[in-house]
Structures are given as structure tokens and as C-alpha cells.
Structure 1
Amino acid sequence: MSRNRYLLPLGVLLLATLSVFRDVQGGQWTPLQSEVNFQCDNGVTTLGYSVYVVGNRPELGNWDPTKAVKLAPTAYPTWTGKVLFPGTDDGKDVEWKCVVRNETIPTDVQKWQSNPNNIVKVTFKTASVGTF
């Protein structure tokens, strides 16, 4: 009986905090998702080509460079970008590489990062770097 006395106040407290967390997300509930900041160093490109990240997850195109994620030349020739992995188990390994690809003809891949693959352990926020 004494344990039940604490459950009602605890339940009220949890309900009150839910509205706070909802408001933090702009009134929208979003599932937990892992976020990885990718960086490709020495990504020298020519006109019409950019650096992309491709890997073994659907969010990275499942090794299909036509579905790769374009990075931004934040400090050329260093390219960076953030990729969200919704529903990915925390601690899961993701394999990836940098590629130089044509911006308008996705099948025109100029360069792949050499072996081995980069590996990043997905956590709720992390970063990973690859170099050509």
C-alpha cells in the first residue's frame, strides 16, 4: 500500500514533463535517432563534381553511389555533412567511404576512397573522418 502512494505523484510528474519535451521538438514527437557528422578530407574535385558519403546503410545508399549523401565543402578540400539514422540501434557499426561523384550524372563516379572501409559506431551523436 505504501508503494502505491508514490505512484500517483510520479505519474503526474511524468505527464507534466512530456509536454515540456513535446514543446522542445516544436510540438512534434520525434523518435530517438542517431546522428553522425561525416568528414572527408582531401576531397579535391573538378567543376561539376562533389564529394559524397556512401555506405552499408539505407541512409547512405547501401553502397549505391547514385543514392549517396552529398557533403558540403565547409573548408575545401574538406567536406562535411550530417546524416541521421532513425531507429538505428545505439552501438551499431556503420561502414562507409568517401566518393567523388558527378552532381548531375549520379552514375559518373570519379573516385572511391581506398580500402579499408571507414567504420563508425553509431551513438546518439558522433563524428567520423575519412581521407582520400
Structure 2
Amino acid sequence: MLRTYISALSYVFLFAALPLANAGQNIQMTYYLHADFTCKNGITTPGYSVYVVGSLPEIGKWDPAKAVLLSPSNYPTWTGSAGFANVKLNEKVEWKCIIRNEKNASDVQKWQPDPNNEAILIFSPTVQTTGTF
């Protein structure tokens, strides 16, 4: 308990001293809001995997070649996450699950049907969002 208290006290000191150490410098911070994606019923054939693609650059701006590969650890449910840089709190992300060729990104076998999935980005806990084929 004492160790935690001392560590927390050290961080308070460091954060208090940071403006003094960087006086006169232009400091820019990048922060990320994270979302966990789940695509259910992503039944694939060899050479194809499930990806998430959507409205923001971190998930491809609707370009399947820039989509984010999900993990088949609970096949046929695929999961993964993405961090979104410098977005606004409560910003809406639209997205879909796609089944895409692993080597040829232009070969999209299937898009999740309309409507788009939506997630609202918040600080904590991580946004959980699900789509189904």
C-alpha cells in the first residue's frame, strides 16, 4: 500500500513539474480512443478472413485494402480492436464487417448488409461494438 502511495505521489510531482520543464516549448499530445469490434457468423473459406472497415482512417475510410484484420480465436466470431487518434469525445464511427481475400485486398467476398454499425467513442471503458453477417 505504501509503495502505491509513493508511486502515485511521484506521478503527481512529475505531472506538476512537466509544465516547468517544457516552458516555452510547444507540446502536442496524441491520445487514442479505443473500440473493440466483434463480427459474428463470419464463416470463411481458406485464404479469406474477416476485417472491419469503416468511416475513419484507422479502419480504412471504407477502403477494403486498408481494413483491419480481426482474430478468429472464437471462430466463427471474429474480434479485434482499433485505436482512433485525436478524435472528438462522443464521435460516431460507422463500420461494417467484410470477408476479404488475405492476399488480394480488392477481392471482397462479402459485405455485412445495411445498415452500417455505429459506435460512439468514449474515454473509458473501451467501446464494445458488434456486427453480424
Provide TM-score, normalisation by structure 2. 0.78
Identity %: 48
Deviation of the 1:15 alpha carbon: 5.7
In structure 2, the partner of 1:128 is 129
Runs of 5+ consecutive residues of structure 1 not aligned to the other structure: 1-12, 20-28
In structure 1, the partner of 2:52 is 53
Aligned CA-pair RMSD: 2.0
Relative to structure 1, the CA distance from residue 14 to residue 73 in structure 2 (aligned partners, 3 Å threshold; closer, same or farther) is: closer
Q: Number of residue pairs matched?
A: 111
1:59-116, Cα deviation, whole Å (9 max, x unpaired):
1111000110000012000000010001111100000000000000010000000000
In structure 1, the partner of 2:13 is 16
Relative to structure 1, the CA distance from residue 16 to residue 107 in structure 2 (aligned partners, 3 Å threshold; closer, same or farther) is: same
In structure 2, the partner of 1:43 is 42
Larger Rg: 1
Runs of 4+ in 1 over 2 A off after TM superposition: 29-32
In structure 1, the partner of 2:115 is 116
CA distance in structure 1 between the partners assigned to 2:29 and 2:129 by the alignment: 24
In structure 2, the partner of 1:62 is 61
Runs of 5+ consecutive residues of structure 2 not aligned to the other structure: 1-9, 17-27
